[in-house]
Amino acid sequence: MTLSITHLGSGSGGNATLIATDETKILLDCGFSGKQIEKRLELLELSPKELDAILISHHHIDHARGAPIIQKRWGTKIWANFETCARLGMDPVNECHLFEPLTRIDVGGDLSILPVSVNHDRADNVGFIASHRGERAAVVTDLGSWNDELVRHMAECVHISIEANYDSKRLWNGPYPERLKQRIAGRGGHLSNRQTADLLSNVVGDHTRSIVLSHLSAQNNAPHLAESEVLMEIDEVFTGDISISTQEGPEFAHYLGQAESEKIAI
Ligand SMILES: [Zn+2]
Ligand SMILES: [Zn+2]
């Protein structure tokens, strides 16, 4: 088996992504309750005790909620950077394995993860690049802007999961208070569909087999808006599968290098 990427769910109500190889199973983010994580893993015939590690991108509750309880109950290793660990109230010596940006973490014999810093809402957030036998997948959410470093790493990936948080028109015409709108749209907020399309146009090529758009705002976005805005930008170069990860899940899995996603039978 190659590496698989399965979103257990994505959005402001919780985010968690299972990365699995023959030897290693990890979660990138653990933003659902312990019970929900257990339930969603069970749909994949997995138990939390089979997880080798959980890596947390940043301390926001929709990315970290279930991590402490899963650790307590199952003894699962938690990896995070120092600030995330501290802001989650976890002991950086005894309860967290600390990582540094751009320093590769070997989480199993056949899987390594590179955290890449991204700008987000006074959090020390990172995107993750997973490598398995020379092939790579990116899982990146919660960023208001991007830099060359991120582009360089994402451009090497055959699978990309990236947030498409809001449709600009819906956000600015919507009911959120002005200050919140500005925070979401700012350089440290979230990516609009337009920005996601721009970022993807810099990193997608013939080699890209699959894309998942994630963390869509229920209030300020809709799957068809995100997908059409992105496809308009990359249609000429991208021939693979594009899917949307919603708050429900898991709904599908991608296997590195395969263009088609596989539906999860529920
Ligand atoms: Zn966040
Ligand atoms: Zn988030």
- Could you tell me which residue, 128 or 121, shows the higher pLDDT? 128
Provide the pLDDT for residue 93. 87
User: Cα Rg for the chain, rounded, in angstroms?
Assistant: 17
Provide the pLDDT for residue 161. 98
- Percentage of the chain lying above the pLDDT 90 cut: 93
* Cα 74 to ligand 2 centroid, rounded to whole Å: 25
Q: Give per-residue pLDDT as tens, 27-78.
A: 999 999 999 999 999 999 999 999 999 999 999 999 999 999 999 999 999 9
* Cα 13 to ligand 1 centroid, rounded to whole Å: 11
Query: Residue 194 and residue 219: Cα distance in Å, rounded?
Result: 17
Provide the pLDDT for residue 68. 94
Q: What is the mean pLDDT of residues 153-182?
A: 96
Provide the pLDDT for residue 4. 97
* Coil, strand or helix at 62: helix
* Cα 195 to ligand 1 centroid, rounded to whole Å: 17
What mean pLDDT is reported for the chain? 96
**What residue type is assigned to position 60 of the chain?**
H
- The answer to whether residue 266 scores a pLDDT higher than 70 is no
Cis before 250 (ω within 30): yes
* Cα 162 to ligand 1 centroid, rounded to whole Å: 13
Q: What is the mean pLDDT of residues 155-166?
A: 98
Helix (H) or strand (E) holding 6: strand 4-9
- Percentage of the chain lying above the pLDDT 70 cut: 100
Structural domains in the chain plus CATH codes: 4-263 (3.60.15.10)
Query: Residue 191 and residue 99: Cα distance in Å, rounded?
Result: 25
Q: What angle do CA 63, 247, 5 make, to 5 degrees?
A: 70
- The answer to whether residue 82 scores a pLDDT higher than 90 is yes
The lowest-confidence range among 161-165, 182-186, 226-230 is 182-186
* Cα 215 to ligand 2 centroid, rounded to whole Å: 7
* Cα 139 to ligand 1 centroid, rounded to whole Å: 14
Buried b (16+ CB within 10 A) or exposed e, 104-113: ebebbeebbb
* Cα 157 to ligand 2 centroid, rounded to whole Å: 22
Helices 223-234, 193-203: inter-axial angle, 10-degree rounding: 30
What ranges in the chain are assigned the alpha helix state H? Answer: 34-42, 61-64, 67-74, 82-87, 148-154, 168-173, 178-185, 193-203, 223-234
Q: Give per-residue pLDDT as tens, 238-249.
A: 999 999 999 999
- Could you tell me which residue, 111 or 258, shows the higher pLDDT? 111
Closest ligand to residue 60's CA = 1
Q: Give per-residue pLDDT as tens, 226-238.
A: 999 999 999 999 9
Question: Pick from 155, 223, 241, 228: which is nearest to 10 by CA?
Answer: 223
- Residues with CB under 5 Å of ion ligand 1 are 60, 142
**What token pair was written down for 241?**
């599968």
Q: Give per-residue pLDDT as tens, 207-226.
A: 999 999 999 999 999 999 99
Closest ligand to residue 15's CA = 2
* Cα 64 to ligand 1 centroid, rounded to whole Å: 10
In the sheet that holds 16-20, the strands lie side by side as 97-98, 77-80, 53-55, 25-28, 16-20, 4-9, 252-255, 262-263
Closest ligand to residue 120's CA = 1
